[in-house]
Chain A
Amino acid sequence: MYHSKSTKYKALLFIAPFLACFLIFWLAPVLYGIWISLNDYKLSMGNLGFVGLENYKTIFDTGSVYHTQFMNALKNTFVFMAISVPPLVLISLGLALLIDNLPSKLKVFFRTIFFLSYAISVTAVSAIFLWLFNANGGFVNNLLMTMNITNSPVNWLTEQPYAWFVVLISTVWWTIGFNMLLFVNALDEVDGALYEAADLDGANSFKKFLYVTLPEIRNVAFFVIITTVIASFNLYGQTMLITNGGPARSTTSLIMNINHTVFSGNQLGIGSAMAIVMGVIMTVVTGLQYWANLKINSDGPKRKRKGRSKKSEDPALVNAPLPYQVDGKETMKK
């Protein structure tokens, strides 16, 4: 009755509202962005003509200022990735293991505490850490000076490596709860019988973690690493608001640089080309991680279990944009 031919097209009506939104706010911008990147587009004057791949050449022309800025931002983003991904993955796993071993009544309480900062916007996080670490009148400097650890204020925000440290610590505080939650839920699902079997074999805690827990949460760990890498590509709010890209543009991220190119530089065409190059780099890095994961899967000991764990390898699911990929954390969350 609801499978006849006429209902087949009637069913399209249910999809129509979403399809309209998707076409207007996703597909149209994607195609328009590609078109803009092939033209000499100025933000103030509009399209000054088709230039083919000229904007892309500019980005890769070593004599061009846009090249210098783009490569600097790319380097900074990779620096951030290198310093932020390991703690965001390892500390969150540590917290999850801690919570997993607590009595179940306390589990919920501590899980909520560690996940709390997830509900806070990047601008509020920045406001807090800006005033914790501000050189003049910041709480940390006041504290350090009262305790006579230092005589003069530390320039947390305007000197390296302090600036990266503040960006890192604010990011860890802001986003670690999300990774932790994914690990907590994964640990929840590990079959208790596996631990009992390991106990019978006389395994200690470390061995149990290595041979029982780790293989069981492998797919979730992979998912956490991928989303954390993607999120660190999208670094924006923290460096925009806490360090303003400084000192000497050393914390200017890729998105900050595109923003600067479009708005301060009036170069919408070049900025759009940069965004597409950035998108391609992100896709390649994500693809490489998949490849590495598949390779480890096929080379490593065959621990993969059938059924439940298979589901999580659906690439579409692993790539699902997470809520925190929408600002700063998308762009690092969010």
Chain B
Amino acid sequence: MRAKKIKTIILVAVASILAVMFIMPLVWMIFTSFKTLGESMSSSALLPKNWTLINYINIFNGTSDAKMILWSLNTALVTALGTTLVIFVDVLAAYALARLNVAGKKLFLGIVVIALTIPGIVTLFPAFYLFRNFGLIDTYAPLILPYSAGTLGVFLIYNFLRSFPRELEEAAYIDGASQWQVLFKVIFPTIRPVVTTLGVITFLAIYNDYLWPSLVINSNEMKTLTLGVATLIQGSNFVNPGAMMASTVIATVPALLIFIWANKYFVKGVTNSGIK
């Protein structure tokens, strides 16, 4: 028993050391954002000697080319609409495939499986060119719509529903409920865990996407936070680590908070998404 206790203490110590190493880049990011230009360039200490808010002030009084407020609003709009759209189309399709007698169901499931095996790079540039042909570069459309083509969500919800008994729904039908009533009152509460997982995955995917927005967005006003940070790296902020980290903190904190909040849904859901 005693040996086991010592073993546990050693393991916790090792885990703690690794955990400190792991969050160090984030800690460094936060502290550096409170350093002045001179100090952030020469400092070899984690904590600032002279704390300053100048990096944040410059961002919000507009003297920096970091349009953080605008980019945040763009990101909020795009992630909210994009995630809602994905959940809406995926839930309807998965429900029909799992519960209704759909014409061409086998063919459809086959297409979904094939689509999963084809690498995303194949669609990327033609999709960009299509959006350009329709004059939709620098609009919200390409930042919201294409995520709805992903088949992962249909797969997740379909598998979840298939393993769930139908008795409740059948009882509801016998009680005279309509199809829509069953969908909203019975099915939706049932699949809520998997929908939450899909929602978090989709939110983070849209929020953190860099390559696709970098193709379809040119103007500074239309950028998302993630794309905006890339511009700052390549632009004038490059010469000031403090300013760069202040922008990065603002761009990172919302996703981190949502991630921590949704952690418990996510942890099991990620496994369900691929393996089970």
In the bound complex, how far is the Cα of B204 from the Cα of A118, in angstroms?
A: 9
- Asked, given contacts A15-B102, A181-B270, A319-B117, whether A142 binds B44 with beta carbons under 8 Å apart, the answer is yes
Interface pick from A29-37, A61-69, A159-167, A297-305: A29-37
B93 touches A15 (CB 8 A): yes
Q: Which residues of A contact B100 (CB under 8 A)?
A: 2, 7-8, 11, 14
**B260 at interface, CB cutoff 8 A:** yes
B102 touches A12 (CB 8 A): yes
Of B22, B40, B152, the residue contacting A321 (CB under 8 A) is B152
- Asked, given contacts A18-B90, A124-B226, whether A112 binds B263 with beta carbons under 8 Å apart, the answer is yes
B275 touches A132 (CB 8 A): no
1/0 per residue, CB under 8 A from A, across B174-200: the answer is 000001000000000000000000000
Of A1, A32, A219, the residue contacting B126 (CB under 8 A) is A32
A118 to B: closest C-beta gap in Å: 7
**A71 at interface, CB cutoff 8 A:** no
B125 touches A119 (CB 8 A): no
* A145 to B, closest residue via Cβ: B44
In the bound complex, how far is the Cα of B4 from the Cα of A192, in angstroms?
A: 17
Complex interface residues of chain B between 194 and 249 (CB less than 8 A to chain A)? 201-202, 204-205, 207-212, 225-227, 229-230, 232-234, 241, 244-245, 247-248
A122 touches B90 (CB 8 A): no
B167 to A: closest C-beta gap in Å: 15
In the bound complex, how far is the Cα of B117 from the Cα of A279, in angstroms?
A: 10
In the bound complex, how far is the Cα of B259 from the Cα of A328, in angstroms?
A: 19
In the bound complex, how far is the Cα of B22 from the Cα of A316, in angstroms?
A: 33
**A137 at interface, CB cutoff 8 A:** yes
A219 touches B25 (CB 8 A): no
B102 touches A227 (CB 8 A): no
A322 touches B273 (CB 8 A): yes
**A213 at interface, CB cutoff 8 A:** no
A275 touches B124 (CB 8 A): yes
Q: Which residues of B contact A98 (CB under 8 A)?
A: 11, 14-15, 18
B93 to A: closest C-beta gap in Å: 4
* Most-contacted residue by chain A among B43, B93, B121, B173 (CB, 10 A): B121
A327 touches B22 (CB 8 A): no
**A251 at interface, CB cutoff 8 A:** no
B244 touches A127 (CB 8 A): yes
In the bound complex, how far is the Cα of B274 from the Cα of A219, in angstroms?
A: 11
A185 touches B268 (CB 8 A): yes
A219 touches B122 (CB 8 A): no
In the bound complex, how far is the Cα of B11 from the Cα of A94, in angstroms?
A: 12
In the bound complex, how far is the Cα of B241 from the Cα of A138, in angstroms?
A: 8
In the bound complex, how far is the Cα of B115 from the Cα of A28, in angstroms?
A: 12
* A100 to B, closest residue via Cβ: B11
Q: Which residues of B contact A121 (CB under 8 A)?
A: 207-210, 225-226, 229, 251-252, 255
* Most-contacted residue by chain A among B85, B148, B251 (CB, 10 A): B148
Q: Which residues of B contact A21 (CB under 8 A)?
A: 85, 89, 145, 148-149
Of B25, B90, B273, the residue contacting A129 (CB under 8 A) is B25
In the bound complex, how far is the Cα of B79 from the Cα of A326, in angstroms?
A: 14
**A228 at interface, CB cutoff 8 A:** no
In the bound complex, how far is the Cα of B267 from the Cα of A178, in angstroms?
A: 9
* B40 to A, closest residue via Cβ: A137
Q: Which residues of B contact A319 (CB under 8 A)?
A: 116-117
Q: How many chain B residues touch A (Cβ–Cβ < 8 Å)?
A: 102
Of B12, B89, B129, the residue contacting A18 (CB under 8 A) is B89
- Asked, given contacts A128-B248, A330-B120, whether A119 binds B256 with beta carbons under 8 Å apart, the answer is yes
Q: Which residues of B contact A250 (CB under 8 A)?
A: none
**B165 at interface, CB cutoff 8 A:** no
Of A119, A262, A271, the residue contacting B259 (CB under 8 A) is A119
**A194 at interface, CB cutoff 8 A:** no
**B118 at interface, CB cutoff 8 A:** yes
A123 touches B210 (CB 8 A): yes
**B53 at interface, CB cutoff 8 A:** no
- Asked, given contacts A99-B15, A146-B44, A255-B211, whether A11 binds B96 with beta carbons under 8 Å apart, the answer is yes
Interface pick from A78-86, A195-203, A230-238: A230-238
Q: Which residues of B contact A147 (CB under 8 A)?
A: 44
Of B15, B26, B116, B152, the residue contacting A106 (CB under 8 A) is B15
Of B12, B93, B145, B205, the residue contacting A14 (CB under 8 A) is B93
29 sample A-B contacts, Cβ–Cβ < 8 Å, listed by A number: A11-B101, A15-B93, A18-B148, A19-B93, A26-B115, A28-B130, A43-B129, A98-B14, A119-B252, A119-B260, A120-B252, A120-B255, A121-B251, A123-B251, A124-B226, A126-B233, A127-B245, A128-B29, A182-B275, A186-B271, A237-B230, A241-B230, A241-B234, A275-B124, A279-B118, A317-B155, A319-B116, A321-B120, A331-B120
Q: A185-B268, A234-B119, A315-B117 are in contact. List 17 more A-B contacts (CB 8 A).
A: A9-B103, A12-B104, A14-B92, A18-B148, A19-B108, A21-B145, A30-B126, A36-B126, A115-B263, A119-B204, A121-B255, A139-B44, A185-B267, A268-B125, A276-B122, A279-B121, A326-B120
Which B positions have Cβ atoms within 8 angstroms of A?
A: 8, 11-12, 14-15, 18-19, 22-23, 25-26, 28-29, 32, 40-44, 85, 88-90, 92-93, 95-97, 100-104, 108, 111-113, 115-127, 129-130, 145-146, 148-152, 154-155, 173, 179, 201-202, 204-205, 207-212, 225-227, 229-230, 232-234, 241, 244-245, 247-248, 251-252, 255-256, 258-260, 263, 267-268, 270-271, 273-276
